[in-house]
Amino acid sequence: MSLLVIGTLAYDTIETTTEKRTDVLGGSAMFFSVAAAAFRPVQLVAVVGKDFRPRDLEMLAKCGVDTSGVEHAEGRTFRWSGRYESDWNTRHTIETQLNVFEKFDPKIPPAMRGAKFVFLANASPVVQAKALDQVSHSTFTVVDTMNLWIEIMRPELMALLRRVDGVVLNDEEARMLTGERNLLKAASLVLGMGPRYVILKKGEHGAFLMGSDVHFSLPAYPVGKVVDPTGAGDTFAGGFMGYVASQGNIAPKTLRKGMLYGTVAASYCVEGFGVEALEGRGLRDFDGRYDELLGIVTP
Ligand code: AMP
């Protein structure tokens, strides 16, 4: 069934302990789209500036992403820069330049408004709410967010949480949102804020899914060499939503299998800068690691 994503397309500057790269293709909707498109075509709504390289949109189209909802605005593309410490879990945002994203007023093309599966990728909750206003009769709407928005737009985010079916958060965001250190308790508190499902991502320690009819936990896929974890969360969401949308239902078993595919997608993402290790991966790659992961967690 149709899968729609709204979020950022970006050029990132990333510093790890061994390397620094500038203008790396990224953005929440970029990672999501590339991962989800391995399962089914993705419809993308986003904004880019005049500096966005045509070949980056061509790459998305080649992956199976409909980019007709990408707006080209005057100005520069969204930019984010961050630095990782040697443990990979500690990330410092050095700068966020909203650029064309600052005035982004998402317009979902009429043909995309009936999407059954909708992912509101990390973006301001105001933009996310405007996008949600335009979709009707979706089966499963999931939202992602980050520390910046929890800090500066908490009321808008709380209002949005009452309107969605699911939310994905990392451990730090869940603690910030709820004020609770224990992640199980934090997940319960998030469920009390509106969504029926919550996915909590714990970086290299895996992820869990909680809802009234499902509680499922997974370790991360063991990656030999992490190169750049940027986008792992969005990629996880892409693998998860891509699989779930391809099944067309949100039965507990589908959601659990989606968690495995999300974990596998994220494992490819962290093996390169930006989407370089993820693009070009097909279902055959995903299924290979899916079976390996199953082998690791099954007695
Ligand atoms: P993740 O590592 O999953 O948190 O995603 C990182 C990606 O999110 C990067 O490619 C950034 O360009 C993008 N990003 C960073 N900050 C924001 C923000 N405030 N809103 C939307 N996207 C962002």
217 within some domain: no
| pLDDT tens profile 236-268 | 999 999 999 999 999 999 999 999 999 999 999
Handedness of CA 36, 247, 267, 217 (dihedral sign): positive
**Cβ 8 under 6 angstroms from ligand 1:** yes
Q: How far is the CA of 298 from the centre of ligand 1 (A)?
A: 33
pLDDT value of position 137:
87
241 within some domain: yes
Q: Treating both helix axes as pointing N-terminal to C-terminal, what angle do 252-269 and 232-247 enclose, rounded to 10 degrees? A: 140
208 within some domain: no
pLDDT value of position 116:
97
Q: How far is the CA of 9 from the centre of ligand 1 (A)?
A: 9
pLDDT value of position 136:
85
pLDDT value of position 220:
95
106 within some domain: yes
Pocket test for ligand 1, best of 15, 16, 122, 278 (most atoms within 8 A of CB): 122
**Run of H or E including 113:** none
With beta carbons less than 8 A apart as the criterion, state whether 67 and 57 touch: yes
Q: Whose CA is closest to atom 6 on ligand 1?
A: 231
What rounded mean pLDDT belongs to the chain?
96
271 within some domain: yes
- CATH number for the domain that contains residue 232: 3.40.1190.20
pLDDT value of position 9:
98
212 within some domain: no
Instruction: Report pTM.
Output: 0.96
Give CA–CA dist 93/47, Å, rounded.
22
Tally of domains in the chain: 1
Length of the chain: 299
The ranges of the chain with pLDDT < 50 are: none
pLDDT value of position 203:
83
**CA dihedral in degrees (287, 293, 297, 298; nearest 10)?**
40
pLDDT value of position 204:
84
Closest CA to 264 of 251, 247, 281: 281
216 within some domain: no
Q: How far is the CA of 284 from the centre of ligand 1 (A)?
A: 28
State which residues form the domain around 41.
3-166+225-297
pLDDT value of position 121:
97
Atom of ligand 1 nearest to the CA of 11: 12
| pLDDT tens profile 82-123 | 999 998 888 999 999 999 999 999 999 999 999 999 999 999
pLDDT value of position 10:
98
209 within some domain: no
